[in-house]
Amino acid sequence: MQTTLHYFLHLGFPFFIAYFFFKKDWKNAYLILLATMLVDIDHLLATPIFEANRCSINYHPLHSYYAMLVYAALLFFRKPFKIIGIGLLFHMLTDFIDCLMMYAQCKTCLKNAPAIELIDFVSSRLGI
């Protein structure tokens, strides 16, 4: 379920964002939203590249809180930068939801995650 939701939010849900918020140019908006998946290139800097119980939020450079501030700033520019900002922030939200789901299943698995304070705070507020 977690993997299915994760990939749906990365690949499927951007279609709805594009279609409902950028009706006139939804196809280009969707392609731009999909292109923001390239932010995951920073996973190549990690050793190992893939680790099943790793939360990418604030672990990888392009998934850091500082990078997210830049992504939020893109919202104040015109298209296509606004669409890029939406896509990158939605990507971060999707990854954060994944972290929350991992945390709900195994609280000790993320004890060394750089974003553990945020994960713990949000999960306690959500009753997870």
Cα(28)–Cα(77) distance, integer angstroms: 17
The answer on pLDDT for 52 being more than 90 is no
Find all residues with CB under 8 Å of 37, minimum gap 6, and list them. Answer: 10, 11, 91
> Which of 115, 71, 75, 107 minimizes the C-alpha distance to 91?
71
pLDDT of residue 53: 85
Q: How confident is the model over 92-96, as a mean pLDDT?
A: 97
Contacts with 22 (C-beta within 8 Å, 6 or more apart), sequence order: 28, 29, 79, 83
Share of the chain above pLDDT 70, in %: 100
Whether residue 1 is predicted with pLDDT greater than 90 in this model: the reply is: no
Q: Give pLDDT, residue 45.
A: 93
Domain spans in the chain, listed from the N-terminal domain onward: 2-126
Q: For 11-44, what is each residue's pLDDT tens digit?
A: 999 999 999 999 999 999 999 999 999 999 999 9
What predicted TM-score, i.e. pTM, was given to this entire model? 0.93
